[in-house]
Structure 1
Amino acid sequence: MFRYVLIETDEKYSEILALYQRNKDYFALNGTSKLDLVQVDEDVHSGPAHITPENKKYFLLTDDKDRPLGVLDYVLGYPNEATVFIGLFLVDKIFQSQGIGRAIVTEQLTYFRSIGMRKVRLAVLENNPNGLAFWQRLGFEVFEENKQSTDGDLVHVLHYRL
């Protein structure tokens, strides 16, 4: 149903950038107005300093017709060995409200459990009530409110026990 294309080179950057540009409203929530290939590269490669490249994963999500549906970025083993931190999950607005996001997250939770992870953690921008509601509908719980992220944004930190 869904394909997870692991991004390791810049070959798919233009497709990711086009997806970002179709979803400017999402990026505007944290003040990102300049969406370019540099931003894509930063998203693909950025992560906590002590994380090995094998633990940092950035995927272009496509359907069976290779249409880009979204992106998923996560780090295995952060902030502790048994936790996965989702840094970015974006479903293209043209595919939202069709159950695609829920289906992808459900697949990933099953995968994370199968590789021995015990918890999934993520942060939602404080000014993104739709994102917060999405994650809460999937069973994620807020355990820190109005925390300042490493980027200086106010976020709600959520977790899900696998």
Structure 2
Amino acid sequence: MQEADQSKRRLFNRKLKQRAPFQSQLPWLKTEKFESDCTRCGKCVEACPTKVIVNGDGGYPVLDFRKAECELCYACSETCPESLFHPNSHEPWQQEASIDSSRCLNTQGVYCRSCADSCEPEALSIAAQIGGTASLEVDSELCSSCGACITVCPAQAISIKVIE
């Protein structure tokens, strides 16, 4: 009788690497006043129609794009009893989607359009390469940083980065 190779068993028992849920600041937020003036009342969390706002570190509200996308509806600001938000005529934030090409399924030869199909402003495009793998590109002019692409990405290859 042939013995099983015990060294391979650890492959089944290893824990998968989990990335922490991506969190971002709320849109239109006056970041310089946020930590000192936010009372952590939770009204913005309750008002959010997509429930993307959660209590983050210290109970401060943050967007968790692993849960949902931000509709940029301004409900969080309208319900906030403090003056923590810019008017909605102001840009909601200075950030955009960023692709980790080492994780993206398209760069690994797997056809995937989950992110591009979920992007309403069509800011994501997949560029096919003859004889090579496809690459995913972000049009920063169209990207609203809503996070819809993050929620649906099976490889967790997308995050939102602050534009410097």
Q: TM-score w.r.t. structure 2 length? A: 0.27
Looking at both structures, which has the greater relative contact order when contacts are Cα pairs under 8 Å and sequence separation is at least 6? 2
* Greater fraction strand: 1
* Greater fraction helix: 1
Q: TM-score w.r.t. structure 1 length? A: 0.27
